[in-house]
Amino acid sequence: MSITDVTADVDRALQGAVRSATTSASSSAVPALTGRARLARLLGATVLAGLLATLPFSMHWAGPAFAVDYGLIVAMTVLSISVLGWIGEISLAPVAQMGFGVVAVNVCQVHHVPFGFTLPIVALSSLPISLLLAAFTLRLKGVSFAIATLAFAYMAHKTFFLEYLGSYGAFGGTGTTQVSRPSFVRTDESIYYLELAVLIAVALLCYAINRSRIGARFTALRESEMAFSTLGHPPAAYRFFAICLSGAIATVAGALFVYLQLQVPSNLLLPGQAILFFGYAVAGGLGSVTGALVAGVVFGALPKYLETLTKSEFLNYDLFVIGLVIFVVMMKAPGGLAEVGRRLWRRIEGTTA
């Protein structure tokens, strides 16, 4: 690459920084909220809190609490994919990383590790796998990185999960036993609140990172890696951080999944599901924390409820319907559900920006 190209990249990065600074300055100069906006936010927060607090009970008419429990796990997995949108990468390994979370919980229970230590241990156990995947980005970018992560997922499934977790519905592989839930989450209704607490904590962490200087540098890295490096920042370090964060989220999702299922055979962790979850992330708005959560819950829980309401007949059309909904969302709102939500909220508040 010539010095002219490098200079052009640097100029673009500087222009992006100026735009970001201008946006920040303009957002800091936004006038005080109108009465309508304040009322909308108060009512919105109240309705959301009430909905989240009662969801597993208020939806009993449509199906068991398992449906929304599964939706929260899908939301966390979709968030792990969406996080990589901050650096412009796509990983198709989250389902495999969920599998390692399942294995980690099994190992912790075999060694009688208290529940309070299990989730932190599971999150830390994700680092070796995440660092291995992150090493791919030193040479592979974009579609090549996505294919490499999918190949890794298939390798892990064929060489490890089939043997350890059991094959295609044959519960109880050579290395796994049924997981027991802690006493305070014995029912599907109670485990919902555990999942919700973990999901909110993870979402707040992602919000904080995305709005910090690290998040601004992720944006700069996504715009131009050459310019980012020229300005003195190490691209590899930020890539590794994003991939490790994504891996930890997916692995914890796997841990919660096995607490919900109690035993997870390998057929529930097929690598191809990652492509479906990526579609959810795109429909939610790749890189958007809120969009990922909404898309995960909607596309994870709604099919389970429809399966109950239609007495399992929806299973014949679930992928077609989900694909059609994703297609319509992307055609009408390229920014996904996050863009739809922003438009709707601006109308509710009575703002035009």
In this structure, of 49-58, 88-97, 261-270, the range with the lowest mean pLDDT score is 261-270
Decide: residue 32, CB within 10 A, 0-12 exposed, 13-18 middle, 19+ buried: exposed
Reported as a pLDDT band with limits 50, 70 and 90, residue 227 is confident
Q: What is the mean pLDDT of residues 178-202?
A: 92
Which residues, 6 or more positions from 63, have their beta carbon under 8 angstroms from its beta carbon?
304, 305, 307, 308, 309
Q: Cα separation of 268 and 165, whole Å?
A: 10
**What's the distance, CA 81 to chain centroid?**
5
Q: Is the pLDDT of residue 165 over 90?
A: no
Q: Where are the alpha helices (DSSP H) in 171-272?
A: 188-210, 213-223, 225-230, 235-261
Rounded to an integer, the average pLDDT of 176-183 is 81
Maximum mean pLDDT: which of 25-29, 297-301, 332-336 = 297-301
Over the stretch 65-111, which tens digit does the pLDDT of each residue have?
A: 999 999 999 999 999 999 998 998 999 999 999 999 999 998 998 88
Name the pTM for this structure. 0.87
In total, the chain counts a number of residues equal to 353
Instruction: Copy the structure tokens of residue 86.
Output: 């901050």
Per-residue pLDDT at 322 exceeds 50: yes
- For 233, residues 6+ apart whose C-beta sits below 8 A from its C-beta are 217, 220, 221
Tell me the average pLDDT across 247-257.
Answer: 96
- Residues 228-240: pLDDT tens digits? 888 788 888 999 9
Query: Which pLDDT score is estimated for 23?
Result: 47
Contact 228, 217 (CB under 8 A): yes
Average pLDDT for 16-32 = 47
Cβ–Cβ < 8 Å for 140, 148: yes
Alpha-helical (H) ranges within the chain are 3-28, 35-58, 66-83, 94-110, 115-125, 127-136, 142-156, 162-165, 188-210, 213-223, 225-230, 235-261, 273-284, 289-309, 318-332, 336-349
Vertex 180 angle, CA 178 and 186, to 5°? 135
Confidence at 27, pLDDT banded by 50, 70, 90: very low
Give the residue with greater pLDDT, 349 vs 15.
Answer: 349
Nearest-angstrom CA–CA distance, 258 and 256: 6
Q: How far is the C-alpha of 103 from the C-alpha of 314, rounded, in Å?
A: 31
Specify the pLDDT at position 173.
Answer: 57
**Residue 222: pLDDT over 90:** no
